A and B are shown apart, each in its own frame.
Chain A
Amino acid sequence: MQLLLQRIFDGVSDGAVYASIAVALVLIFKATTLINFAQGEMAMFGAFFAYIFAVQSGILDFLGNQYLIIWVAAIIAMVLSAGVGITIERTLTRPFDPEDHLPVVLITLGLFLGINAIAGIIWNYQARVMPAMFPNGSDDKIVIFGARLFYDTIGTIVTLGVVLYILFIILNKTKMGLAFRAVSANVESARLVGVRTGRVLSFGWALASAFGALGAVIVAPRITLQPSMMAAIVIYAFAAAAVGGLDSVGGAAIGGMIVGLTKSLGNGYLGSWHFGLEHPPLEFLPATPLLIPVLILLAVLWFKPSGLFGTKRIERV
């Protein structure tokens, strides 16, 4: 019981981070029907923005409280990342025909490598300590049935919930949100009701970049800040987005949780699964539970190709 709860808490904690990157992927997919392969690296860059403001420059030291400093830095990083997202959309993707996906996909792949390299040049590949957004000492926890639920996990979940709610309001209750969903549903018809699609695409990239940056700022204290920090996370985020359905924001959040939980539970219960042998037949066997999220992804794509919550593509002939 204690172990099960512990694994659930750990899974949810990781899942929230996958969810935030997955939501960012979904936002750009909804706007452009493209996967932004550079999402993780853009988020990493955002985390470095926060690092500059919170630690490197000391600009925010006047605020006094360490949590206030990192939160203000995170918000500044989100705004700057939104700006970077808009710039990328305007300069690198808009000149290309939106119907022709290959060039833009290649551009995002190029960005993936480019942003990583630029970050490496600026900040080198040394791991840095990122200040935590929530108290994360070994005593900052509540104990439920012997399982430790850290404030960091609670804070991450609450933050994700609040930001998802804000996102829901923006998408469903504002005119810009309606325009965004209209463009997502049918670009040509959106233009025909007077929507300036360019602005809407920029809006989508801005939202996605800000959202991704927040995820990276939250996860950085756990895994240390360095240019390749998102490499593994973004893979799980891709899986989360696909499990939820690439065009469903809520689906991406739930997908993140599913991936986080299966990874944690799989690792916990099967990590030491040696077929009762003293020497497991394959040396990499302890790592195989990490494949579980990938297996779930395959299963979902096999039985429900549009994901658990995605829009089925129906075409009237």
Chain B
Amino acid sequence: MAKKKTQRKAPSASNDKVKLSARDKRTIGELKGLADSVVAAATRKRDPYLDIPSRTLSNVRFNKSKRIIEMGRGTNRRQLFDLSQAKAYMRTMLVAKGCNQLILQGKNSSIRGLYYALKGKIKPTNEHTFDEQSDCDPMIEDLEVLINGLREELHLFAEKKGDMVGNVVLNDNGDEIDCSRMGSGGYGIPSIVEPEVIQFDRKKTTAKFVLHVEKGTVWQRFNEDKFWREHNCILTHGGGQPSRGVRRLLNRLHNELKLPIYCVLDNDPWGYYIYSVIKQGSINLAYESRRMAVPGAKFLGLRAGDFERCGLSDSVQIAMNDHDRKRARQIAKYPWFEHKKPWQKEIQKMLDNDFKLEVEALISRDISYVTETYVPERLASPKDWLD
């Protein structure tokens, strides 16, 4: 009880001090609209519902001219008085309430923080509003599409993921950061990299391109070998599937600084999909593609043919399982891959190989083979890149 009281007091106490930005006002207006619709339905004795744009493959469209994935018009109706949806409805409203509070307080919260703030017992029972954070996260995404706003507009951010190093200088919340002087750790890419927070220093930035690698371990290799210094570039990684912060940053580097984005990822279905997400946007967050996708990104490697071309030993092969094969075929069918012959050939080649290759496999040749031979070779032959 005590906790709830303080929660309720806080907004009114800080309300006067916090100055709401125009964006905040718009967001609050949207949230109010949601709440008002519930009241309106209840007064008319109708069941309240939410029409949530659906975030599934069936409701995304590949915009060929923009070369990004866009969300369709399909919606899913979430009703309060439907046994299977009642709880989800309640959770959506709880998330709306939580975000409303954050905005009024002028605070930002991690999505995990929000989960904790909203977690609680539903009074007469022992049932929890949320059992795990994974119950809460999709609700946040639902709310984003519902009010057509972004996560940062809801004053939420995710844990930061991914690092950057290289010849770029930027201003992060007032601090000047020179990414060429970040030591071995690099600059951690924050979850929110909007222009309000991060501005690039065009004059001091000399990098000619961005090299994005899949994981921290590979990134470490490149950083240690000072690859970015030699090739005058920016080096990033996303820790697997890149978070929105990383993707937004790549998008801004590409659009604002006109830097080409090159990807070096594992040769497996997941690597392909990471590239796909960077290039066209993700299915789940199709509504954010316009801000995040980099249609001009290029896929440098690893290629299915690299096993023979680089003369790697058999021991680095990772056998494919049924799940991998299924996923590979699924990816091949995506509209944005379907009509690209080189990609179809690439995926087929991997299926024929029947094994996967990680970037680390190149280490079997030499510890610095990937930085000193492989990537420079790939960079030198643009006609071999996959688009």
A and B: bona fide binding partners? no
Residues of B within 8 A of A (CB): none
